[in-house]
């Protein structure tokens, strides 16, 4: 029996983990060992490991940045120009737009540095150092510690390690866990705070196809925007000042116009946000059957309400453009994941892998002692957690989808901490700039109705029961009354409340806590704290321990060949090929699109495919300059590099490390790569750099920006 099990053990390792498919994996640069770089070079890469990432010399990774708080960007000139996605810069573009200066609809191009627009609150962050600090964080921990004490000790050590480095000028240190706490890495960053908009195409180019084409291939979107980093006179991070100068980077990317062919090597460097590659099968079942369907339904309701008001008013359209895009992004992604996970029978695949894991474990008595408890504990914990799955989704997407409730949480927190009137006023001005009462009032009514209808009564807060009874289930009438009474429903009333707070903080807090929106927020909070939090927190702590042991076991199974850690918004590299795919029987997608596809979509007459006359004229005249090829203009291409949210804006590089595109999306079928990568269908959708330069030069007439760049024509 043992001989047979040992044979199955080898089969499992070969089939499941050894070797990992070349295109699969988001690797920490420090993991770029000889095995990986040899594989990359076999696929066509012409770079050494040191040229891609090095702690001791300039490298490609030095030109990759965190853009804002959730995207990637790349430095493309010696004067600090940064390229990222239009959707990553969308909120910044919106923040400097108005009905009179509608940079969303019309685009914006600074024809000199003096015309570049400062963006308040925007940052660009460079990685300066990374280090494995596992021994300093978890080394020497007492095995007898319970989970709560272990977490306290680790958090204390993390703060100590990070605190040794962070300073007030802009350096920031972060320690993050990997493999569910089996390893810890230190990351040191420089954060630049003076960032200015240098150029952005109109929405009809930067968001061509809008939500209709989101997560879809073939794609024809020029999803890019250009910003510039400014620094103090010593080239270090500084707050905004007219005296600041363009930042001089350590490294910036060369840009290639040489073109690409199917099968070419491609590499991505960036900051992927979150993946969950090692989830237990029960977690995916809950995701597909409960969490995603309900989240999609709630977001559909919110989007429809927003859309109706946005169509009726340009002012509301501008106010809610960024919010709408943010909500619709995951709304469509979750639908794709449901479809994709079902298509590959993901739950059954996970169960098969778990059975193989059990056979490997049972082939050795020591492994049985170490790991025999893992799968039974998974089953038990997820069975208990499932009782909270529905209510947690509604707390996040229904109660958490109401703007005024979120503003109440923010404002009550600031007031309870005794923050200054000036600080609170600045926050309020930002909030009300993009708030429209009727939109949120209708969303409030719809979300309260959905929560009451779908969530079991034992999770209904007292506030919800009270308003249901008082208004006899008429949540629209309830919302109208509450929004008339609330101090926060209109900016004028909110600032009057702030005046009271400025004169007498206690009186201001008393008025705030008597507000019906406060009672709503407090009601949900109390329900969560009493009915959910104590038990769920304990379950989550136990689950973290199980995953830590599970990942330790999986890594033991493949000695000499490391598994890649889940993404957690730290620097990663992934690699693959430029290639098409077949999403279904008898359907084959090519690896690139051209402007011909833009014109074909535009000819349908749909609003989301509308384009301006200038782009049509450029196409008609075939005035593509050096960026076109064989009488047409490339727009987008796809590659099999493993990416996820956060990779938006990432540089896509050729075999020599030159920029050939900007990653901005995945195909709908490939959104499953967050939990299960399937090489046959997972693709990274990329804006071809030739189309980007064509728009800057021929469409915008901003050729002065190209003069800063190192462009390789052959």
Q: Catalytic residue positions?
A: 87, 223, 648
Q: What is the dihedral of CA 313, 314, 315, 318, to 10 degrees?
A: 130
Please spell the DSSP secondary structure of 77-114, one letter per residue.
STT-EEEE-HHHHHHHHHHT--SSS-HHHH-EE-SSGG
DSSP label at residue 699: I
The β-bridge partners of 228 are 81, 196
C-alpha 663/C-alpha 647 separation (Å) is 7
| Interstrand relation of 684-688 and 711-712 (parallel, antiparallel or unpaired) | unpaired
Asked whether 196 and 705 are in contact (CB, 8 A), the reply is no
C-alpha 375/C-alpha 354 separation (Å) is 8
Give me the residue label for tokens 């695949």: 349
Q: Is 251 helix (H, G, I), strand (E, B) or coil?
A: coil
Question: Pick from 339, 522, 46: which is nearest to 512 by CA?
Answer: 522
Give me the residue label for tokens 């702030």: 498
Burial of 607 (0-12, 13-18, 19+ CB in 10 A): exposed
Asked whether 374 and 550 are in contact (CB, 8 A), the reply is yes
The β-bridge partners of 73 are 65
C-alpha 474/C-alpha 328 separation (Å) is 28
Question: Pick from 645, 636, 701, 668: which is nearest to 223 by CA?
Answer: 636
CA–CA–CA angle 474, 331, 468 (5° rounding): 15
Give me the residue label for tokens 């690896």: 591
C-alpha 403/C-alpha 449 separation (Å) is 16
Asked whether 17 and 561 are in contact (CB, 8 A), the reply is yes
Q: Which element (helix H / strand E) includes 247? A: none
Provide the residue count of the chain: 714
């Amino acid at each position: 029996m043992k001989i047979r099990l040992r044979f199955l053990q080898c089969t499992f390792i070969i089939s499941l983990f050894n070797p990992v498919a070349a295109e699969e994996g988001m690797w920490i640069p420090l993991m770029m060992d000889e095995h990986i770089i040899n594989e990359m070079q076999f696929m066509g890469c012409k770079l050494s490991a040191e040229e891609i990432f090095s702690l001791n010399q300039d490298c490609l990774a030095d030109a990759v940045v965190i853009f804002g708080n959730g995207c990637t960007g790349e430095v493309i000139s010696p004067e600090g120009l940064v390229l990222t996605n239009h959707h990553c810069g969308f909120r910044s573009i919106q923040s400097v737009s108005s009905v009179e200066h509608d940079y969303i609809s019309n685009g914006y191009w600074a024809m000199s540095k003096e015309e570049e627009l400062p963006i308040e609150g925007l940052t660009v962050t460079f990685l300066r150092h990374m280090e494995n600090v596992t021994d300093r964080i978890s080394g020497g921990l007492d095995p007898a510690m319970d989970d709560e004490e272990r977490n306290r000790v680790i958090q204390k050590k993390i703060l100590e390690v990070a605190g040794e480095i962070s300073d007030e000028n802009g350096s920031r240190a972060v320690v993050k866990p990997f493999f569910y706490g089996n390893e810890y890495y230190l990351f040191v960053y420089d954060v630049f705070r003076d960032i200015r908009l240098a150029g952005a195409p109109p929405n009809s180019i930067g968001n061509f196809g809008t939500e209709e084409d989101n997560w879809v291939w073939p794609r024809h979107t020029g999803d890019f925007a250009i910003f510039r980093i400014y620094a103090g006179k010593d080239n270090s991070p500084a707050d905004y000042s007219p005296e600041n100068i363009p930042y001089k980077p350590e490294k910036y990317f060369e840009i290639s116009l040489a073109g690409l062919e199917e099968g070419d090597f491609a590499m991505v460097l960036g900051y992927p946000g979150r993946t969950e590659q090692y989830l237990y099968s029960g977690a995916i079942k809950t995701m597909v059957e409960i969490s995603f369907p309900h989240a999609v339904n709630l977001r559909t309701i919110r989007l429809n309400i927003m859309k109706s008001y946005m169509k009726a008013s340009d002012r509301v359209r501008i106010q809610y453009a960024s919010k709408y895009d943010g909500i619709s992004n995951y709304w469509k992604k979750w639908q794709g994941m449901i479809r994709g996970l079902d298509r590959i029978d993901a739950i059954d695949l996970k169960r098969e892998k778990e059975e193989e894991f059990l056979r490997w474990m049972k082939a050795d008595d020591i492994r049985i002692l170490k790991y025999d408890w893992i799968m039974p504990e998974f089953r038990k914990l997820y069975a208990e957690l499932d009782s909270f799955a529905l209510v947690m989704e509604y707390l996040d997407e229904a109660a958490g989808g109401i703007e005024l409730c979120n503003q109440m949480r923010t404002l009550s927190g600031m007031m309870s901490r005794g923050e200054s009137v000036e600080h609170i006023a600045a926050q309020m001005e930002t909030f009300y700039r993009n708030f429209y009462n009727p939109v949120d009032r209708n969303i409030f009514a719809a979300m309260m109705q959905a929560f009451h209808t779908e969530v079991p009564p034992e999770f209904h807060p007292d506030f919800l029961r009270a308003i249901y009874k008082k208004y006899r289930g008429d949540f629209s009438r309830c919302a109208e009354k509450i929004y008339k009474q609330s101090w926060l429903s209109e900016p004028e009333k909110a600032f009057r409340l702030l005046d009271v707070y400025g004169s007498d903080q206690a009186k201001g807090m008393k008025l705030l806590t008597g507000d019906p929106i406060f009672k709503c927020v407090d009601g949900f909070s109390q329900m969560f704290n009493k009915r959910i939090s104590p038990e769920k927190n304990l379950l989550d702590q136990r689950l973290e321990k199980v995953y830590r042991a599970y990942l330790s076991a999986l890594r033991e199974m493949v000695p000499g060949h490391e598994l890649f850690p889940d993404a957690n918004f730290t620097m990663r590299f992934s690699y693959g090929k430029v290639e098409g795919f077949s999403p279904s029987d008898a359907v084959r997608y090519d690896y690139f699109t051209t402007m011909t596809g833009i014109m074909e979509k535009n000819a349908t007459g749909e609003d989301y495919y509308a384009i301006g006359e200038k782009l049509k004229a450029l196409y008609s005249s075939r005035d593509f300059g050096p960026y076109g090829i064989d009488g047409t203009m490339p727009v987008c291409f796809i590659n099999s590099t493993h990416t996820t949210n956060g990779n938006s804006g990432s540089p896509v590089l050729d075999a020599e490390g030159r920029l050939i595109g900007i990653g901005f999306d995945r195909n709908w079928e490939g959104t499953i790569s967050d939990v299960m990568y399937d090489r046959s269908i997972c693709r990274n959708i990329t804006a071809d750099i030739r189309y980007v330069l064509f728009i800057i030069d021929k469409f915008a007439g901003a050729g002065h920006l190209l003069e800063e760049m190192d462009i390789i024509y052959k």
